[in-house]
Amino acid sequence: AAEAAEAAEAALLAASPDGWLRSILDELQQSVEELSPASARRLRAELARDHTPFAPAWRASFADVTAHGVCGVCGADLSAGPLVPAQRARLREGLLAAAAARGPLHGLALRAFGEWVSRRGYKYVVDGANVAYRNQNYDGGRFSLEQVGLLLDELRRRSGGAAPLLVLPKVYLTARLVPNHTQPRVVPSKERAAYSAAEAAIAKRLPDTSETLP
């Protein structure tokens, strides 16, 4: 198996040096949390050598990355890499610690919810409020259930019809006028909005087309 993998890699390198390098960099991104300074310097030096099959198309340099994932050298939007196991573990423990800081019951409830979701085997879990408020920070913007409906339809298509889990405050599915902001307080009636006919239809069918956790 190892020999076959080496042969396939050599064939890819011969046929498409750029494709081979891109596959190596993709693998590096997924398997290594952070390059050591020595490894980064070696990669940079190798790509700068005149005899490399990648010159002059590929160059490596150190760059600052903006908070929005834009490379400070070439201006490209960098793709988000998946979390490595160590990062995933730290994220999980950080979330549990933040919940526990609000009170012991909060930490226990979040842990129980995580275990429940794991047992159910959902492929997608949707934070409904974040989706509904996405790109709505303009004058006249509001909670958009249509955005939630569009995303759920796409996720069902991608998963062969399997229902995603939608996490959404119950008020957004049961009230005649729904809150039009994200603050957890009593909302004056003037800050509530009625759904459009299309959104009312989405709210009515959500319990049948996705599993909803209030």
pLDDT in tens, 171-198: 777 766 666 654 444 444 445 667 778 8
Give the pLDDT score at 101: 94
Residue with the larger pLDDT of the pair 43 and 114: 114
Q: Residues 51-73: pLDDT tens digits?
A: 556 555 666 677 888 878 888 88
Residue 146 has pLDDT above 90, yes or no: no
Least confident of 15-19, 150-154, 155-159: 15-19
Q: How many helices (H) and strands (E) does the chain have?
A: 9, 5
CA gyration radius, the chain? 24
- Better pLDDT: 52 or 112: 112
Q: Is residue 139 very low, low, confident or very high in pLDDT (cuts 50, 70, 90)?
A: low
Share of the chain above pLDDT 70, in %: 67
Stretch (H or E) spanning 203: helix 197-209
Q: Could you count the other beta carbons within 10 Å of the beta carbon of residue 145?
A: 24
Angle value at C-alpha 168, between 191 and 163, nearest 5 degrees: 145
Contact 203, 153 (CB under 8 A): no
